[in-house]
Amino acid sequence: MAQPSGFAHSVMSSHVCRLHKSLYGLKQAPRASYNRLSEFLLSIRFQASKVDTYLFILSLNGAMIYLLVYVDDILLTGSNSALLHKLITLLQTKFKLRDLGSVHFLLGIEVKLTAIGILLSQHKYALDIIQRVHLASCKPVDTPLSTSSKLGIMPSSLHSDPTRYRQIVGAL
């Protein structure tokens, strides 16, 4: 280990800081954070979704509140703004929170609030992938693959580095 630049001690240059407690960098840190948040949410009558373990739902007097956890981000929405503000205040007493305002992007999905509801789009995400793989100048076609071709194993000499193709497929 080395002292971080800008914090190097001139006399004790071989010394480093000893941490008493660290949350980030530990393999179990995200799980511990999630468990703490999950236990708290369940204690205030949220229900864990049976489909997505990171989604919590609160149904109270006809109002619905949805709380989605993604790593260290929380997306919160619902049908009752007074109940949402009360929940945010309660969460702030137990956890360090920063309100980032209305959601615009989440997991590559663009979120737009319209007069009739919420519009979800992956248009920007798709364009980013196309630009990343240098296909922005290509012409679009309805069917990018010949319908009469037979698929088979390609000779390895055609694609000596499959990383690019794996990245494209992985992004999709």
**Can you name the residues that pair with 112 across neighbouring β-strands?**
119
**Six-digit token pair at 150?**
């037979």
Q: Cβ distance 63 to 83 under 8 Å?
A: yes
Distance CA 146, CA 5 (A): 57
Confidence of residue 11 (pLDDT cuts 50, 70, 90): confident
Question: Between residues 118 and 154, which one has the greater pLDDT?
Answer: 118
- Provide mean pLDDT across the span 102-130: 88
Residue-level pLDDT at 16:
74
CATH 3.30.310 domain extents, the chain? 29-100
Average pLDDT score, the chain: 83
- What pLDDT does residue 43 have? 95
Extract long-range pairs of 52-61: CB within 8 Å, 24+ residues apart: 58/87
Indicate yes or no: pTM above 0.85. Answer: no
Res 57: pLDDT: 96
Under 8 Å between Cβ of 55 and 68: yes
pLDDT in the model for residue 24: 56
- Please list, residue by residue across 137-165, b when 16 or more beta carbons sit within 10 angstroms of its beta carbon and e when fewer do: eeeeeeeeeeeeeeeeeeeeeeeeeeeee
pLDDT tens per residue across span 82-94 = 999 999 999 999 8
Per residue in 135-160, pLDDT (tens digit) is 889 888 777 677 787 777 766 555 66
Distance between CA 162 and CA 142 in Å, rounded?
25
Q: What is the mean pLDDT of residues 88-111?
A: 87
Q: Encode pLDDT of 36-76 as tens digits.
A: 899 999 999 999 999 998 999 999 999 999 999 887 788 99
Compute the distance between CA of residue 48 and CA of residue 32 in angstroms, rounded to an integer.
17
Phi/psi of residue 113, each to 5°? Answer: -85, 125
CATH topology of domain 29-100: TATA-Binding Protein (3.30.310)
